[in-house]
Structure 1
Amino acid sequence: MSFFTSLSGLKGAQSDLAVISNNVANVASIGFKKSRAEFGDLISASPLQSGNIAGQGTRLKSISQQFTQGGFQTSDRALDLAISGQGFFVTKTGAQLSFTRNGAFSIDESRYLVDSNGAYVQVLPVDTSGAVTATGISSSQNLQVPLSAGRPKATTTLDLSATFPSDSDLPASRSAYNATFPYKFDRYDPQSYNYSSATTVYDSAGNPQQATLYYTRVTAPTATDTTSKWEARLFIGDQQASADGSAVTDPPAPLELTFAADGSLTSPTSAQQFSSVLPSGASEPIGINLSYGTTTRQAASTFTPGAFRQDGKAAGQLNNVSVGTDGLISATFSDGTTTKLGKIMIANFANPNGLRQLGDARWGSTGLSGDAIVSEAGSGSAGLIQSGALEQANVDITEELVALISAQRDFSANAKAIETGNNMTQTIINLRT
């Protein structure tokens, strides 16, 4: 009988060694939770049996998970998440839900938020302000990060200002022109204009085009006429728009600006509608209503273009994804807008030790664990989300090595007991009458 009792001890020590070895092997696994082997003694008992009996060995009662929190390892990725407190992330593969503390998330080729196994991370739906609109495990949904936001808008108005030098000369080609050699504007000939300034405008599809204004001095003040006149020619991409609003004028008419002797702008006094043009790369024609602000003047200074203000825009492109401590995922776009995408779903269980291990630091619910209690981070018993961090395994390597030595001693002691029992049996067999 002692042989089988010690044999059960050997098996128990072997199971303990296997559990400890698994803990040590996963010391670097993100979100891993160590296990502990729990044993009980074997007693053969009956209603009329005396209490003075020897046990029959040991048995493995269970291998229980230890869901204590591990340390945090900082990361430079916003989608590396850790739960500070209780709870599990919820992921989904097909119809199968799993629960994990491994928050090494990423974006897949379809822009969905997934874990390291490719399972979809589950979130709670939110409204535009970030408030949760539905709760419960049935409200979980996959999260897809959009590449753009908003609708593009074609530029229709352009407001600007500029300071023109009062001592500027007429451009060389204009001052020298005559009936034989008439003046001709050429945007590629700097001798045909004085200054230029540019900004970006957009067509209805949000495609950008460069709008360039070329300024040419026409007249300077004289003793009889103290006004100054300039011409402004508007090019959108490779096409020139006409200031008279007609698309058939050839060549396109420039806009005439008139300054009084004190440098103030006297004409035009209202917005000027330029003709629509279709530059290369544009999806539809662009027509701009151009106006000069009250700060536009002529003065004894250098040419200084002021601020350009236009009402068009392209669709916002994704700039950044951030996660708050409450699990709210927000996407920021190039047009300055921010979209609330969803809140990370946190699940808790009445009996976490009843969860079924699925591998890769994932667990599945069972009848022993109870149903998942779903909430948002920071509410109830759910912990807070820390972005830019990963939870390390809760394995204390020193503690495990000490336990390893203890299990080895247990194994050796039981082996010695078997050896002793075997020697006693051999002695009895060798007795001679």
Structure 2
Amino acid sequence: MMRSLYSGVSGLKNHQVRMDVIGHNVSNVNTHGYKAERVNFMDLISQEIAGASEPKENIGGINSQQVGLGALIASIDKIMTQGSLQTTGKNTDVAVSGEGFFVIRDGNKQFYTRAGFFNIDRDGYYVHPGTGLRVQGWNSRTDDKGNSYINSSATVEDIRIPLYQKKPAKATTEVVYESNLNQAVEIVPADATAEQIRDFIEGPADKRRGHATTINVYDPEGNKRELRLEFWKTGENRWTGRVNMENATQVSVNVTGPGNVDTAVPGNDRFELGFSSDGRLVSVSDGSDTLNDGKLQLQLSYRIPGNPEPQTINLNMGESGEVKGITQYASSFTTRAKEQDGFPMGYLEAFSIDNTGTIVGTYSNGVKEPLARIALATFTNPAGLTKEGETKFAYSMNSGDPNIGEAGIAGRGKINAGLLEMSNVDLSDQFTDMIVTQRGFQANSRTITTTDQMIQEVLGLKR
């Protein structure tokens, strides 16, 4: 039987497979995260009719004579190029810009996908909606000071976004002060009465020799209380301060710092600030102890009704010799409380996702804190992953082990929220390949029919 008959058959089979792959690509042209495939052919083993001979002294060499036996499928490659990003506006949708796959898990089975059309289920888990598989990453933890943090070096886990969960109140532990006390004002007499000091602070601007600043702080129950600090000039480069806490008792301040012993008198509500000749804060004192190095802070102590435990707040005035915190220059009073770290109880109302994959929650009390971080996995040979359907990939022996970590680190791409990655199928390429495949199939069928006609001629020789 003629070899060309079998060569034509192999060509038909191979072009059928190529058409199958093209059809699959076209059918997934609008599948998010889909990666196109292509078919590569290679020739089948050739039968040697005559071997090659080497050149001799009086005659040249002769090449071998071989007849090919058709074609084989060399590979079906996955084209892992980046697909275009489509805006959706949905905050749970995410897309990878660059290398990497989202990690999703079904029990002990771990899969990988580029399709980030995720949702939140009834229990608050971040899931792949087509399969219910849970997205992997790292949930936030709380340290001993009540601050949230994410340990992305730990083992990945199911991401959970607890919408409408309560955030307990946090008592204020630190207040940071900044800006300036006017060096040009007159000194307040040492024998000034409380009423005179109040007039110096709150009176007309041309008579003002002091300044007051207030900020709302929170107790352990989340109650808002006004903290007021008053400052007045009592000497060259020296100011006296007084602290007052709304609806609190036993209010007192004392110096805290390395090497200082708490010898402050209970109920002492006054302190002193010392400045250098160039306006920099250099010391704080409570009348018994003085701190003149490093962070210059006072500890405010107070009690609230119904709670026998004393509450404390660190009043951060700045750092010794630095131009931050409180300064003393011949400029307008601008001293203010910059920030405090307490808040009342709140509910998780919304969240957003940044480029690192960090999910940041927004609470009804105005607090924003990290809730979780989405993990990405990269592979040495991503084209070696096994397709599992439902836009999922699985590890194979030739993909390499998954390298799981944060987005934007170690070659991993960035995560974009409110976007989805479209299929990377190019229809113009697919239609062109479709035409070439059709012609290839037709040509191979002609090989078969022509060979059949030749065989028919041989059979007719006997007539």
Q: Same fold (TM over 0.5)?
A: yes
TM-fit CA distance, 1:385: 0.6
Confirm whether residue 96 of structure 1 aligns to residue 109 of structure 2.
yes
Structure 1: which amino acid aligns with 2:116?
G
Q: Secondary structure at the match of 2:451?
A: helix
Confirm whether residue 431 of structure 1 aligns to residue 461 of structure 2.
yes
Q: Secondary structure at the match of 2:92?
A: coil
The match for 2:205 is none
Q: Distance in 2 between matches of 1:361 and 1:432?
A: 61
The match for 1:145 is 161
The match for 2:374 is 344
Distance 1:412 1:82, change over 3 A: same
**Mapped contact 2:14–2:71 kept (Cα < 8 A):** yes
TM-fit CA distance, 1:134: 4.0
Q: Distance in 1 between matches of 2:148 and 2:427?
A: 42
Q: Distance in 1 between matches of 2:148 and 2:47?
A: 62
The match for 2:365 is 335
Q: Distance in 2 between matches of 1:430 and 1:24?
A: 47
TM-score normalised by L of structure 2: 0.57
Q: Distance in 2 between matches of 1:114 and 1:62?
A: 34
15, 38, 41: which one aligns with 2:40:
38
TM-fit CA distance, 1:124: 2.9
**Mapped contact 2:8–2:447 kept (Cα < 8 A):** yes
408, 413, 417: which one aligns with 1:387:
417
Q: Distance in 2 between matches of 1:354 and 1:398?
A: 26
18, 21, 28: which one aligns with 1:19:
21
Q: Distance in 2 between matches of 1:150 and 1:9?
A: 67
Structure 2: which amino acid aligns with 1:119?
L
Which aligned pairs between 1:366-405 and structure 2 lie closer than 5 A? 366-405=396-435
Q: Distance in 2 between matches of 1:61 and 1:131?
A: 50
TM-fit CA distance, 1:355: 0.5
The match for 1:123 is 137
Q: Secondary structure at the match of 1:430?
A: helix
Question: Residues 324-365 of structure 1: CA distance to partner in whole angstroms, max 9, x if unpaired?
Answer: 001111111111122312211110101112111001211000
Confirm whether residue 28 of structure 1 aligns to residue 30 of structure 2.
yes
Confirm whether residue 135 of structure 1 aligns to residue 148 of structure 2.
no
The match for 1:72 is 85
**Mapped contact 1:331–1:341 kept (Cα < 8 A):** yes
Confirm whether residue 87 of structure 1 aligns to residue 100 of structure 2.
yes
Q: Secondary structure at the match of 1:431?
A: helix
Confirm whether residue 316 of structure 1 aligns to residue 318 of structure 2.
no
**Mapped contact 2:149–2:370 kept (Cα < 8 A):** no
TM-fit CA distance, 1:427: 1.1
**Mapped contact 2:139–2:159 kept (Cα < 8 A):** no
Question: Residues 178-205 of structure 1: CA distance to partner in whole angstroms, max 9, x if unpaired?
Answer: xxxxxxxxxxxxxxxxxxxxxxxxxx99
Q: Distance in 2 between matches of 1:337 and 1:49?
A: 83
Which aligned pairs between 1:182-331 and structure 2 lie closer than 5 A? 315-331=345-361
Consecutive unaligned residues of structure 1, counting only runs of 5 or more, are 154-203, 207-272, 277-311
Q: Distance in 2 between matches of 1:97 and 1:119?
A: 9
Distance 1:321 1:84, change over 3 A: same
Distance 1:61 1:52, change over 3 A: same
Q: Distance in 2 between matches of 1:56 and 1:367?
A: 32
**Mapped contact 2:150–2:370 kept (Cα < 8 A):** no
Q: Distance in 1 between matches of 2:125 and 2:150?
A: 20
Question: Residues 88-125 of structure 1: CA distance to partner in whole angstroms, max 9, x if unpaired?
Answer: 00000111100000000110011100012210000134
Q: Distance in 2 between matches of 1:90 and 1:35?
A: 22
**Mapped contact 2:8–2:445 kept (Cα < 8 A):** yes
Distance 1:110 1:125, change over 3 A: closer
Distance 1:57 1:131, change over 3 A: farther
Question: Residues 141-186 of structure 1: CA distance to partner in whole angstroms, max 9, x if unpaired?
Answer: 0111122232269xxxxxxxxxxxxxxxxxxxxxxxxxxxxxxxxx
Q: Distance in 1 between matches of 2:369 and 2:96?
A: 23
Q: Distance in 1 between matches of 2:47 and 2:5?
A: 20
The match for 2:60 is none
TM-score normalised by L of structure 1: 0.60
Counting matched residue pairs gives 280
Confirm whether residue 109 of structure 1 aligns to residue 122 of structure 2.
yes
Question: Residues 20-50 of structure 1: CA distance to partner in whole angstroms, max 9, x if unpaired?
Answer: 110000001010000011111101468x955
Aligned-residue identity in percent: 35
TM-fit CA distance, 1:2: 0.8
More strand by share: 2
Q: Distance in 1 between matches of 2:116 and 2:359?
A: 14
Structure 2: which amino acid aligns with 1:424?
M
2, 5, 8: which one aligns with 1:6:
8
Structure 2: which amino acid aligns with 1:86?
E
Q: Distance in 2 between matches of 1:421 and 1:7?
A: 11
| RMSD between superposed Cα atoms in Å | 2.8
TM-fit CA distance, 1:319: 1.6
